[in-house]
Amino acid sequence: MARILIVDDSPADLKFMEAALNGSAHTVTALNDPAQVEAVAEQVKPDLLMVDVVMPGRNGYEVVRGLRRQPGMESLKVVFVSSKGNETDVKWGLRQGADDYIVKPYTPDQLHGVIAKLIG
């Protein structure tokens, strides 16, 4: 069982992801404010972060850089989940430290496949 932290400014996207993971063996924490990520991660101690790229105030790349500076978060698995899906966006996301990249819209099966690949 893994602890998954989801960060997205869209309530609809958060609900979709939570519903897709409902019933799985994982503990899911959803957050719609990227400014609170470090504080929530300190409490939750996630194994996997699923984060949108485009968010107001603080984008997903900034969120990942902030988390990776926290003690104990260096090995955190990261998946960017974004509507920015052309090849250069995906390559850039991976270069920014993501372990994988999911393009919106996606299916629950795609979500489960990436999670299984990264954390079992």
CATH number for the domain including 68?
3.40.50.2300
Residue appearing with tokens 């900034």: 62
Its pTM stands at 0.95
Please determine, for residue 1, whether its predicted confidence score (pLDDT) is greater than 90. Answer: no
Task: Judge residue 86's burial from the number of C-beta atoms within 10 Å of its C-beta, 0-12 exposed, 13-18 middle, 19 or more buried.
Answer: exposed
Q: What percent of the chain has pLDDT over 90?
A: 88
Please state the domain count of the chain: 1
Range of the domain at 41: 3-119
How high is the pLDDT of residue 24?
86
Edge to edge, the sheet with strand 3-7 lists: 27-31, 3-7, 48-51, 77-82, 100-103
| Banded model confidence at residue 45, pLDDT cuts 50, 70, 90 | very high
What does the DSSP 8-state code read for residue 85?
Answer: -
pLDDT tens sequence across 78-89 = 999 999 999 999
